[in-house]
Amino acid sequence: MTSPVVPVDLDDVRLRTLERQPAAKAGPAAAKELEVVFLTQLLRAMRKTIPENDLLPRAPARDVYEGVFDRSVATSMAEQDPLGIVRGIGLKVGAGPADTKVGNPPEGTGESH
């Protein structure tokens, strides 16, 4: 007999891994992971707006591929903190509290008020 296949929620696995990290590293890592999860969901929602066609019919393999692709693109995008989620909650990835306040652009961006 074979055991039943149990779906694994990779986002849940990643969040459980963050729970085991020391507090100093967990905050920035959790903020970055939040941005990755948000961007993944955003890409998935954007993909649903594209009309279906007969060129690539719906299939389980395609769903897996698109999920992995969206996660990979979101991870690459999150490296630059494009939405400012990490900076916005007062954390800097890889460091302690950020030097910038919410609503103020980071120094050196050329933006002024």
Which pLDDT tens digit goes with each residue over 46-88?
A: 999 988 888 878 889 888 999 999 999 999 999 998 888 888 7
Pairwise pLDDT comparison (25 vs 52), residue with the higher score = 52
pTM of this prediction exceeds 0.75: no
- Distance set, CA 7 to CA 26, 43, 66, 74 (Å): 26, 21, 16, 21
State the pLDDT at residue 113. Answer: 47
Non-local (6+) Cβ contacts of 73 within 8 A are 39, 43
State both tokens at 67: 């999920």
Provide the β-strand partners of residue 97. 91
Work out the burial of residue 18: count CB atoms within 10 Å of its CB; fewer than 13 is exposed, 13-18 middle, 19 or more buried: middle
CB atoms within 10 A of CB 98: 19
